[in-house]
Structure 1
Amino acid sequence: MNNSDKTAQDRWSAVEAAIGREARVALEEHYALFDERFYLWLADLYEPGVGGFYYSGSARDAEGYLPDIESTVQALTFLDNSGMTDSVGGWQYAFSQRTEDRILSFVKGLQSPEDGYFYHPQWEGLTYIPSRLARDVNWADCVFSVFSEKYYSVFKEQGISDAERVERMKKYMPLYNTPSGRAGSLGEPRKGILKSNAGGSAEKWTPQLRSLEAFRDYLYSKNLLEQSYNVGNEIGSQCNQIKQRDREALLAGEPVGYEATVKELFDSAVNPENGLWEKRVRYDSVNGLMKIASFYNAMGWEMPYPERGIESAISIAALASADCDGKTASNAVDVYNPWVAISKIFKNINDFGSASSRERAKGYRAMLNGSAAEMIRATTKKNRAFSKSDGSFGYHSGETTCTHSQRMPVAPPINGYGDVNGGCISSTGIIFNMCAGLGINEIRPSLFGSSDLQKFVSRIEEKG
């Protein structure tokens, strides 16, 4: 038995000790949904001429579609989340210098010198909704963050002087300051105005962030009580920009309170009976809980009625049939989001909750672990519906292919194809958050290992 096999065995033994043998067996059966076909399919979506990953095989094989930043970063972080890169320290250490430079150039090349946002050439002329703009800034931040961390350490270990290190680090920065506050090597965007295809603004910020009054009007125009998932996604994706807007307003002597205005809305609208932002406990309302709980954590706020929220999320995670609306788990997030909500609320209680809340949370953890096997099996059954014949997984169940992401076209309407977003959600996304919700993330067994990384990287590098 080699060391990696022993480590895996030790982790599975620890899982059994924590949640019981029946739940361990159920979790192993869930892991068995995925094999090497999944990550080789993912590797085949890489385009060396661009330095990015396509959303799906159908996009790769069709005219008019190109790699996008969200698919690229999701594919790369999958390597870390699956355990493939445990032995090397992260995906940023896995590839050749050539591939690394291509990925970095791809991301930097998407940034506009006009406003610092990131735009894709295949979407030129289309209107970007706030969540698309914000998400792509966030994905770009991920790339710059991991490369900056890597090369700061590398240059320091090489004994390079502080002045020279600062100069070399510019390669791993965005060209221009981003709306999330990340510094660019060239400073502020040249014009400091929003690109016309994002709304026609003559100002730096998107319309809803131009003033505190505009932001309040924007927030309170949303149908939070019936569409908490869509609203939570749109507002949550702008989290970093909202923080940065408050910082810049303070420096400019303008009215501040962008963060506080969101908190006022969310705190006042929550339903005390179920911890949700809607009346009924259903897939969509728990999806909204996940988005809003993530926002509370990112802001460092204590959530209202967290125990009721956990109860609601558990009921949907364990659901084996349709919800009160007659909806079944037709999108990958319907399986994923309840587990994310559970893990986010536990984290919120632990990080920001009162001593009494933390004590009560222990009871909910025990209740959750008592039904762990049942919930894992329900999750596996629902998740299997998103698998495709080639070993990939998609955002939609069955043969239906997802064609748009945040309203942007990412794949042609050809059925039977998996996609990066749905695939990463269905694989490492669910496993990570299921284990986090059960309190076993620190002993979570890896889905794949170093030998799988070698196969993945070889597939990438062979492309030239």
Structure 2
Amino acid sequence: MNSEKKEMLEIMNELEVNFDGFFQWLAGQYDPVTGGFYYARSSIKDNRFTPDIESTAQALNILIRNDLLKSLPEEIRQQMIVFFQRKQDQNTGYFLDENPAMKKDEVMVHRAINYSAGSLRKLGSTPLYPLPLEAKSAPEYVATPETYLKKWQSIDLSNSWRGCDLLATSCVYIGEMEESLQQRFLNEAVKYLASIQDPETGLWGEGSLYVRISGTFKLHTFYSRFNIPMPNTDLIYKSILHCLRTEEAFDMCYIRNPINLLSYMDVSIPHKELKEILKITTDNVKTLKRTDGGFSRELDHSPPAPNVAQVKKNELYPDMPEPVCLGKGLVEGDMNASTQATLIWLQCHQLAGLQAKPIKDSETFYNFLQQKIV
């Protein structure tokens, strides 16, 4: 084994230590009554909260990333399928949780379509009803490429993270279109994004460096979904490296988003810089590990409403969404941060040129799950 590979393995071993107790925590989030997963420990015994779409989809992704889906008991698989199917409105095709504030947040509404339809596909099933575009319940702005462009132009990017999230998630409707029609919409989207990209940093929108990188990460979901090359990745890489070296990562998203972008962009990274990036990432993940076994979104607590965690008090955003509370905001693990931690694990391996394996003790998940069910 050469010295460079040895260094990479040492960092990955250091990262893996942070997952001690993780799969016991994950099993504890499962609700055998609904087949869904709760957001945090504080959510379970509080009747204000129920298992939600995002947390359940994120838990499923953790299982897949650790090669656990194939061992999922058939009864639980069927129950998870029913969980997502029951969330779909028969008339509109949208998937919604019980919290009435959710339907007021475009990002959560759009994300729920992707999460639910994607989870059903992974579980070997499908939605019960047509999705919004086919159900003719999609917003009026999806009518033509011109109206779609007007919608995009109206989105405020003073907080890049929130604004670019609105841009990217709105493309859920483009994903439903037939290919010939889809291309017309994509052409307008690509031209518009190119016109507003910062020529010096390669980033989009405004805000702190981590906020702009997070916004750029959101847009990568658009480019990657439709197999379109993201422009100026060399500039984005320089911005990421500068940010990692100079800014505090007080949110799990600030740890995951740069790694996710680097993994997607597939830029050539010198070994010395790669080692630095992976070490910074590992050290940052440590700060968000919690004693319950999970990970928190933020340094000081797990945000009770993940849909507004993007927008800090010192980063005003005129279209602040109404909170969709999933937990109490305690210092505890939450599903949002925890699924990101497992993705960081995979993508750090990818960047290091190593074969990712299931996280240590992942095979104990079903033992703990059985205890939960009994």
Is the shorter-chain TM-score for this pair beyond 0.5, marking a shared fold?
Answer: yes
Partner of 2:80: 103
Q: In the TM superposition, what whole-angstrom CA distance separates every residue of 1:386-420 from its partner, at most 9, and x where no partner exists?
A: 1222221111113x121113355233434222110
Q: Aligned partners of 1:138 and 1:175: how far apart in 2?
A: 15
Partner of 1:56: 40
Q: In the TM superposition, what whole-angstrom CA distance separates every residue of 1:261-308 from its partner, at most 9, and x where no partner exists?
A: 211111111122222125788111111221222311212222221211
Partner of 1:223: 156
Distance 1:30 1:50, change over 3 A: same
Q: In the TM superposition, what whole-angstrom CA distance separates every residue of 1:35-62 from its partner, at most 9, and x where no partner exists?
A: 1x21111111111111100111111121
Amino acid at match of 1:57: R
Q: Does 1:330 align with 2:250?
A: yes
Once the two structures are overlaid, the 10-residue window that deviates more, 47-56 or 414-423, is: 414-423
- Largest Rg, 1 or 2: 1
- CA shift at 1:217, angstroms? 1.9
Partner of 2:263: 343
Amino acid at match of 1:401: S
Distance 1:404 1:208, change over 3 A: farther
Distance 1:330 1:111, change over 3 A: same
Distance 1:281 1:437, change over 3 A: farther
Q: TM-score, normalised by structure 1?
A: 0.71
Q: Aligned partners of 1:68 and 1:130: how far apart in 2?
A: 17
Q: Aligned partners of 2:184 and 2:172: how far apart in 1?
A: 14
The equivalent position to 2:292 in structure 1, one of 370, 379, 390, is: 390
Q: Aligned partners of 1:84 and 1:25: how far apart in 2?
A: 23
Partner of 2:317: none
Distance 1:445 1:217, change over 3 A: same
Structure 2 unmatched ranges of 5 or more: 308-320
Q: Aligned partners of 1:63 and 1:314: how far apart in 2?
A: 44
The equivalent position to 2:60 in structure 1, one of 76, 88, 105, is: 76
Distance 1:433 1:179, change over 3 A: farther
Q: SS at the partner of 2:19?
A: coil
Q: Aligned partners of 2:173 and 2:350: how far apart in 1?
A: 28
1:134-149 correspondence runs (5 A): 134-148=110-124
Partner of 1:310: 237
Q: Does 1:424 align with 2:334?
A: no
Partner of 1:354: none
Contact 1:243 1:258 in 2 (8 A): no
- CA shift at 1:453, angstroms? 3.9
Contact 1:84 1:453 in 2 (8 A): no
Contact 2:305 2:326 in 1 (8 A): yes
Q: Aligned partners of 2:82 and 2:154: how far apart in 1?
A: 39
Distance 1:244 1:32, change over 3 A: same
Structure with the greater relative contact order (CA < 8 A, sep ≥ 6): 1 or 2?
Answer: 2
- CA shift at 1:113, angstroms? 0.9
Q: Does 1:446 align with 2:358?
A: yes
Q: Aligned partners of 1:125 and 1:383: how far apart in 2?
A: 31
Distance 1:279 1:139, change over 3 A: closer
Partner of 1:410: 325
Q: SS at the partner of 1:46?
A: coil
The equivalent position to 2:147 in structure 1, one of 192, 214, 217, is: 214
1:191-202 correspondence runs (5 A): 192=136
Partner of 1:41: 25
Identity of aligned residues (%): 22
Once the two structures are overlaid, the 10-residue window that deviates more, 297-306 or 66-75, is: 297-306
- CA shift at 1:129, angstroms? 1.9
The equivalent position to 1:372 in structure 2, one of 252, 267, 274, is: 274
Q: In the TM superposition, what whole-angstrom CA distance separates every residue of 1:357-404 from its partner, at most 9, and x where no partner exists?
A: xxxx4xx33x1x223332222112211121222221111113x12111
Contact 1:59 1:410 in 2 (8 A): no
Contact 2:12 2:349 in 1 (8 A): no
Partner of 1:261: 188
Q: Aligned partners of 1:458 and 1:217: how far apart in 2?
A: 51
Q: Aligned partners of 1:235 and 1:274: how far apart in 2?
A: 19
Structure 1 unmatched ranges of 5 or more: 1-12, 86-90, 149-171, 181-187, 193-203, 323-327, 347-360
Q: TM-score, normalised by structure 2?
A: 0.87
Amino acid at match of 2:364: D
Amino acid at match of 1:288: G
Q: SS at the partner of 1:55?
A: coil
Contact 2:26 2:59 in 1 (8 A): yes
Distance 1:412 1:301, change over 3 A: closer
Partner of 1:30: 15
Amino acid at match of 2:16: Y
Q: Aligned partners of 1:453 and 1:307: how far apart in 2?
A: 40
Q: Does 1:205 align with 2:182?
A: no
Contact 2:155 2:167 in 1 (8 A): no
Q: In the TM superposition, what whole-angstrom CA distance separates every residue of 1:438-458 from its partner, at most 9, and x where no partner exists?
A: 343xx1233135632442443
Distance 1:307 1:244, change over 3 A: same
In the alignment of these two chains, the number of paired residues is: 360
